[in-house]
């Protein structure tokens, strides 16, 4: 790749591997797929049998295809097959690779195999604009999964190559509909989402990160410990100022795979704790937890938080009825990185149907990072196994910075 296409910080080994992988699937595997599909669809009537075609030496294949081109110069299929043969690692006798591809491109510029060959050439030469343009057409209009995965590899490398990043952003600005499929292909391409963030950030102001796509990215970023990147996508999806704690009044339906409340997935008919959001008169919607006496999957309810090191104050209200428990419940703050407990509320016990206040001082040390989890748990671990009975309602949760604490 020329110096003009490589930024000073580019990873040459990674980019070379990218070109090798792309060339492999675009070139070597293309011939067999192309010929097999042609035989199935009976696209080569002048050739007596597909078995005979497969058994022919390269020179005879070339001659048969040349005869078809001569008989029907406007038919792009034999011309494309010749161009494919010319791109094989071992080559083929008497074929001008560049001229054949140019001719096939003139006759069938949007044909799948032509796009693959053109992308292959561009990738091998480090010509990002040409390569990305062909790959985008393959992924967007042909549903080509391999093209989407190759673009995913390129998206993962873009943060290390300014020319490549600029090319991808230019394609987004022209028509970014391809991005959704490519970003969803990141796991298949074994590219961590965090490596794709330069492209994701460029796509945000263009309106290309939809709520559905954002949830997918957020879930993967949280799983990878990229809390700040995950939260940046979350803020973009909501497009409004958000507090340190989300949906603390429980008025909104819960949004999975983000920074809203997460409920332990279980069979509601066998669960030890059933979670709902009923409306309770003037109180509005509340968080309701009904304990059935069975073993409880912990945490019952939780929320991921992004809290820089500092001091915070948590507050809320609860109401319980018929809560039979030896030790009660607690809302617990823990570091996501090392599961270190930071704080917990006093034990939540039966309130005889009245509303009570809960609170906790929450110090977040520097070694915790910024990822924190708030979760509802049994105050004593053994009661998750033995089970509880009764009903508890929660409302008016708030988390704020507490500047009074050191």
Domain ranges, ordered by start, for the chain: 3-232, 261-401
Crossing angle of the two packed helices 227-238 and 211-223, in degrees rounded to 10: 160
Is the pLDDT at 10 greater than 50? The verdict is: no
Cβ–Cβ < 8 Å for 53, 44: yes
Correct CATH for 261-401 of 2.40.40.20, 2.60.40.10, 2.60.120.260, 1.20.1560.10? 2.60.120.260
Is the pLDDT at 7 greater than 80? The verdict is: no
Q: Residues 63-76: pLDDT tens digits?
A: 565 556 555 666 65
Write down the mean pLDDT value for the chain: 82
Task: Return the exposure string of 98-118: e unless at least 16 CB atoms fall within 10 Å of the residue's CB, then b.
Answer: eebbebbbeebeebbbbbbbb
Higher-scoring residue by pLDDT: 404, 274: 274
Looking at residue 107, its pLDDT comes to: 58
Confidence band, pLDDT 50/70/90 cuts, at residue 402: confident
Q: What is the DSSP letter of 285?
A: B
Q: Which of 210, 202, 223 is nearest to 180 (CA)?
A: 210
Crossing angle of the two packed helices 145-157 and 12-23, in degrees rounded to 10: 170
Choice among 40-49, 83-92, 224-233, 359-368 with the minimum mean pLDDT: 40-49
Q: What's the rounded Cα separation, in Å, for the pair 118 and 107? A: 14
Element (H, E) at 287: strand 287-292
Q: What's the rounded Cα separation, in Å, for the pair 301 and 262? A: 6
Element (H, E) at 327: none
Is the pLDDT at 49 greater than 80? The verdict is: no
Higher-scoring residue by pLDDT: 266, 183: 183
Cα angle vertex 153, ends 149, 159, to 5°? 145
**pLDDT, mean of residues 301-311:** 97
Is the pLDDT at 356 greater than 90? The verdict is: yes
Is the pLDDT at 86 greater than 50? The verdict is: yes
Is the pLDDT at 16 greater than 90? The verdict is: no
Choice among 40-44, 200-204, 291-295 with the minimum mean pLDDT: 40-44
**pLDDT, mean of residues 178-201:** 96
3-state secondary structure of 246: coil
Q: Which of 70, 75, 38 is nearest to 53 (CA)?
A: 38
Token couple for 53: 């075609």
- CA torsion sign for 175, 197, 117, 103 is positive
Q: What's the rounded Cα separation, in Å, for the pair 149 and 138? A: 11
Token couple for 255: 């949004």
Confidence band, pLDDT 50/70/90 cuts, at residue 323: very high
Helices (H) and strands (E) in the chain, counts: 15, 10
**pLDDT, mean of residues 222-232:** 95
Could you give the residue ranges of the DSSP H alpha helices within 24-111? 29-40, 50-55, 58-71, 76-86, 97-107
Element (H, E) at 363: strand 355-364
Could you give the residue ranges of the DSSP H alpha helices within 125-247? 128-141, 145-157, 162-174, 179-184, 197-203, 211-223, 227-238
Is the pLDDT at 24 greater than 50? The verdict is: no
Is the pLDDT at 352 greater than 60? The verdict is: yes
Element (H, E) at 319: strand 310-324
Is the pLDDT at 27 greater than 60? The verdict is: no
Token couple for 282: 């003037």
Q: What's the rounded Cα separation, in Å, for the pair 306 and 336? A: 10
Choice among 11-20, 164-173, 254-263, 396-405 with the minimum mean pLDDT: 11-20
Q: Which of 329, 331, 327 is nearest to 248 (CA)?
A: 331
**pLDDT, mean of residues 347-357:** 94
Looking at residue 123, its pLDDT comes to: 85
Looking at residue 110, its pLDDT comes to: 75
């Amino acid at each position: 790749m020329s110096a003009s296409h490589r930024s000073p910080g580019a990873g040459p080994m990674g980019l070379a591997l990218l070109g090798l992988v792309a060339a492999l699937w675009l070139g070597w595997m293309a011939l067999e797929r192309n010929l097999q599909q042609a035989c199935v669809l009976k696209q080569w009537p002048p050739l007596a049998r597909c078995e005979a075609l497969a058994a022919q030496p390269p020179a005879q294949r070339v001659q048969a295809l040349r005869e078809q081109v001569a008989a029907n110069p406007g038919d792009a299929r034999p011309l494309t097959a010749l161009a494919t043969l010319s791109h094989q690692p071992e080559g083929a006798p008497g074929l001008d690779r560049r001229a054949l591809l140019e001719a096939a491109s003139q006759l069938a510029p949007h044909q799948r195999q032509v796009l693959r060959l053109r992308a292959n050439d561009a990738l091998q030469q480090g010509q990002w604009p040409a390569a990305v343009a062909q790959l985008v057409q393959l992924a967007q209009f042909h549903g080509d999964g391999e093209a989407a995965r190759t673009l995913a590899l390129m998206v993962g490398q873009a943060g290390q190559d300014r020319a490549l990043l600029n090319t991808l952003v230019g394609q987004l600005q022209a028509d970014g509909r391809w991005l959704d499929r490519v970003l969803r292909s990141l796991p298949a391409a074994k590219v961590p989402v965090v490596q794709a963030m330069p492209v994701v950030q460029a796509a945000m102001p263009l309106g290309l990160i939809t709520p559905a796509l954002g949830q997918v990215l957020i879930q993967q970023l949280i799983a990878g410990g990229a809390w700040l990147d995950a939260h940046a996508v979350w803020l973009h999806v909501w497009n409004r100022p958000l507090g340190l704690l989300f949906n603390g009044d429980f008025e909104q339906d819960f949004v999975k795979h983000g920074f809203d409340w997460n409920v332990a997935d279980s069979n509601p008919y066998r669960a030890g704790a059933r979670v709902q959001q009923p409306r309770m008169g003037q109180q509005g919607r509340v968080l309701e937890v009904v304990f059935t006496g069975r073993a409880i999957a912990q945490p019952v309810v939780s929320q991921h938080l992004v809290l820089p090191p500092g001091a915070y104050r948590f507050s809320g209200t609860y109401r319980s009825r018929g809560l039979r428990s030896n030790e009660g419940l607690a809302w617990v703050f823990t570091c996501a990185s090392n599961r270190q407990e930071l704080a917990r509320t006093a034990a939540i016990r039966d309130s005889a149907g009245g509303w009570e206040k809960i609170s906790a001082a929450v110090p977040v040390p520097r070694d915790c990072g910024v990822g924190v989890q708030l979760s509802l748990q049994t105050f004593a671990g053994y009661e998750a196994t033995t089970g509880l009975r009764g009903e508890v309602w929660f409302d008016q949760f708030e988390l704020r910075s507490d500047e009074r604490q050191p």
